[in-house]
Amino acid sequence: MVTRAFDAFIKGDWHLESTTPNGETVKGAATVNADGGGNSARTITWTSGPEPIAWHGGWLHRGGHLVLDVYEAPKGVSRLTGGQALTVPKEVGENVSLTFPWQPPGHKDTSDGQVLKVTYKNKVLRIVHSEGGHSESVHVCTRA
C-alpha cells in the first residue's frame, strides 16, 4: 500500500459538495496549503448561493489531533476555533476507511459521541459527520 504524509495528502485543490441533516446541498471549492510542517492555511469558497462565500482558516496536525480553525467567515458568523478530530494518522494511504472522535468548535471534549467517518478512494474523500447518532451531514471532496 502506498502511503504519504498527512500534509501531502491534504494539500491541493478540492471540489466540495456538502449535504446538511435537513437535506440542503451546497457546492464549492477548497484550497488547502501545506508546508510539510503539520500546519498551514485553507480557504473554502461556497458557490451555491447568489454570490460566492469564502471562509478562511487554518489547520494543525500534531500527535493525532487535527485542529481546525476559521479565522474569517461571512458577516454574522462568529470566529470558530477549537474543532478537532482525534486519532488522525501521520500517514494516509490510497484507500482509507477510518472513524475519528470529533470535538466541534465550542465543545469541551468528545463525550457527546460525535464522530467523523472518513473514506478515501479514487481521489474522492467522503466525510460523514455523525452527531451522536441523531443526525448526519455528508461532505464529499473530490481532487480538482
What are the residue boundaries of the structural domains of the chain, listed by start?
3-143
Is residue 94 left, alpha or beta, with left meaning phi > 0 and alpha meaning psi from -120 to 50?
Answer: alpha
Q: What is the pLDDT along the chain (144 residues), one digit of tens a residue?
A: 678 999 999 999 999 999 999 999 999 999 999 988 888 999 999 998 899 999 999 999 999 999 999 888 887 777 677 899 999 999 999 999 999 999 988 888 888 899 999 999 999 999 999 997 789 999 999 999
pTM: 0.91
Which 8-state DSSP code applies to residue 9? H
Farthest CA pair distance, the chain? 45
Other C-beta atoms closer than 10 Å to the C-beta of 87 total: 11
Which 8-state DSSP code applies to residue 10? H
To which CATH superfamily is domain 3-143 assigned?
Answer: Quinohemoprotein amine dehydrogenase alpha subunit, domain 2 (2.40.128.120)
